[in-house]
Chain A
Amino acid sequence: MLFNSYEFIFLFLPIVLLGFYLLGGNGYARSALVWLLAASLFFYGWWNPSYLWLLVFSIAFNYVLGLILGRETFSDRVRRLCLVVGVLVNLSLLGYYKYFNFFVGSVNDVFGTGFDLKEILLPLAISFFTFQQIAYLVDTHRGKTKERGFLKYCLFVSFFPQLIAGPIVHYNEIVPQLDDRKIFKFKAEDLAVGLTIFTLGLFKKTVFADGVSDFANPVFQAAAQGTDLTFFESWLGAFAFQLQIYFDFSAYSDMAIGSARLFGILLPLNFNSPYKSSNISQFWNRNHMTLTRFLRDYLSKPTFSVLRFLPLGDKRHSRQRQLYLSSIVIMVASGIWHGSGWTFVVWGLINGVYLALYQIWRDVRKTLGKKFARPTRAEELLGNLIMLVAAVISLVFFRAQTFKDAIAMLKPMLGSDGISLPGSLEKVVGFLGAVGIQFKGTVTPGFSSLTALVWVVGLLAIIWFAPSTQQWLQEYKPALDYDPLLSSPSPIDRLWKRVQWKPTPLWGAIVAAIAIVAVISIRPQSEFLYFQF
């Protein structure tokens, strides 16, 4: 079931909410949790009931392993063996469903073999619940979790707001909240805050993400069909996709946090205006934050353990060089996690190289002395622009189905056929023809470059200058770990601080108007991009 569907908004969510508070508010806390679990499984099964068994098996298997890992009566050897088996089984399931055909297809391509590909439908959310439970097993092995029963474990994995596309939550973030009796008592503030966050997310999805996708999809399709795109439209198409995925994921994250908040449950922040960052490292700390956290906590350390045996100079330099390599390895892993195709691997590799280059740059500055240790405001702005363009280029690989398609987009972007602007601009800036600029117009069918330009510039202005949902609601704890004090406020942020959301009739009316526009704009079958991962 999609968050941006009528059945979710007008049937599923209100019914589940009503049942939860009717049961929980009358002293049946356990029944309320059972109700929430049943609703979550129904939510998952709505897509394809035949894969419900996989989710249930995964939950039961990991719960049993967790019981063994958490008991000190078992020897260290047994517990370590259980951890290894658990991680391997989880990764094998993910590997079979997500990567089998990718692997076999690659073998066929490289060795010219003819192994048959299977018809495997990727189970929804498998990448998310697999990582979440691997983290649980590792944390339990490290003694960081405390077993609180099967029902709460089931909800930790399957709670519908975060089941399909994150945030990838930790056991200790969710289960203590389920233990708290306060969540069963209806609170008007939770309803107001949750509905506001959900509505803003819905608006971002149905108006911004779906709207700008009309300019990304035709351009990428034209490139895939062999159309020779012009410079201007290829850049516009690439920027349009960047903005589509930005608002799509921002929307999903808001709707997950908002719908959980309706039940009094806080989810961790997953998206924090990443394009306000001034470098790629900050960007990854603010984009898909819970995946970045997972990769940092569960992959960085083993990667470092392996890389430390590589002799890469004296101790201090060796460490930094190991860090550069580890960044590349981790981002390639992130690429593979996102999708089973070589284009995703290349997307991860490019981002890993970006990170390593930034780290080298940072270390070089540090060696120049204190004066250069921190960037100036102007350098931060320049860094922001460089990062934005660098991200657009890497996202071409993320969006394109094949390398051929990606190259067909990148060639005109890099000016292979000269720099060409829309024909309508010739009257205004025709003098640029003297320096070789052409005015060929666009070749993508039905693509209006000026309309696309207005969308791209408008949405870029929003991602740079508008407050994030959490900034706007910062006085009402809009996420589990959102701390406004550390958001390094810019002058614009300080301005927005004066226009804070409050649970007043005026703000209620504004949010209701936003909701009406968002609901009217719903497009049937418009899935979130992250559902495919």
Chain B
Amino acid sequence: MSKEEIQTWLVEYVNRETGTDKAKIELDVAFDRYGMDSSAAVGMTGDLEDWLSLELEPTIVYDYPTIAELSEYLIERVS
């Protein structure tokens, strides 16, 4: 598992949830700016747990609000 794979997964997730064009999704822009509300963020945490087989705080997105920050945190946890 690499950081880039996690970032790709997150970009695809944001694209699926909000309809934002993948090319327009930037790594250092907060999830909520793409219209990801708290419900979507908590849902994403659950999907991330399943995908990475990790235990995550449901509010993890509040602490790591961008794809760059979240993927950095997740890769540390995975490795």
Answer yes or no: B2 CB below 8 A from chain A CBs.
no
Size of B's binding interface in residues, CB under 8 A: 22
Complex CA distance for A282 and B33, rounded to whole angstroms:
10
B43 CB contact (under 8 Å) in A282, A301, A366: A366
Q: For A366, what are the chain B residues with a Cβ–Cβ distance below 8 Å? A: 43
Chain A 360-379: CB-based contact to B (< 8 A → 1; otherwise 0): 00110010001001100000
- CB pair B59–A300 under 8 Å, yes or no, is yes
Complex Cα distance, B34 from A282, in Å, reads 11
Q: Is the CB of A486 within 8 A of B29?
A: yes
Asked if A404 is an interface residue, CB under 8 A from chain B, the answer is no
Interface residues of A in 410-450 (CB under 8 A from B): none
Whether, in the assembled complex, A319 has its beta carbon less than 8 Å from a beta carbon of chain B, the answer is: yes
Instruction: Please give the distance in Å from B56's CB to the nearest CB on chain A.
Output: 10
> Is A340 an interface residue, CB under 8 A from the partner?
no
Q: Determine which of B24, B34, B58, B62 lies in contact with A296 in the assembled complex, contact meaning CB atoms within 8 Å.
A: B62
Secondary structure class of chain A's binding surface, majority of residues? helix
In the complex, A370 Cα to B16 Cα: how many Å?
A: 9
Docked-complex contact B42 and A320, CB < 8 angstroms: yes
With beta carbons under 8 angstroms apart, the residue of B33, B39, B43, B45 that contacts A486 is B33
**Are A362 and B39 neighbours in the complex by a CB distance under 8 Å?**
yes
B69 within 8 A of A: no
Residue among B19, B29, B58 making CB contact with A322, cutoff 8 Å: B58
- Cα–Cα distance between A321 and B24 once the two chains are bound (Å): 32
The residues of A that contact B58 with a CB separation of less than 8 Å are 304, 308, 319, 322-323
User: Chain B binding site: helix, strand, loop or mixed by DSSP?
Assistant: helix
C-beta contact mask, A275-315 vs B, less than 8 Å → 1, else 0?
Answer: 00000011001000000000011001100100010000001
Residue of B nearest to A302 (CB): B59
Does chain A have a CB within 8 A of B8?
no
Closest to B16 in A: A373
Is there an interface contact between B38 and A281, defined as CB atoms closer than 8 Å? Answer: yes
- A319 B46 Cβ-Cβ under 8 A: yes
The yes or no answer to A483 lying at the interface (CB within 8 A) is yes
| Interchain CA distance A370-B43 in the complex, whole Å | 14
- Specify which of A296, A315, A362, A373 lies most central, judged by the most chain B CB atoms within 10 Å of its CB: A296
Q: Decide yes or no whether B72 CB sits under 8 A from chain A.
A: no
Question: How far is it, in angstroms, between the C-alpha of A301 and the C-alpha of B58 when the chains are bound?
Answer: 9
A485 and B42 contacting across the interface, CB-CB below 8 Å: no
Does any Cβ of A come within 8 Å of B12's Cβ?
no
28 examples of A-B residue contacts, CB within 8 angstroms = A281-B39, A285-B32, A296-B62, A297-B62, A300-B38, A301-B62, A304-B59, A308-B58, A315-B46, A316-B46, A319-B46, A319-B58, A320-B39, A320-B43, A322-B58, A323-B38, A323-B58, A327-B38, A359-B38, A359-B39, A362-B40, A370-B16, A373-B16, A374-B18, A374-B19, A483-B33, A486-B29, A488-B35
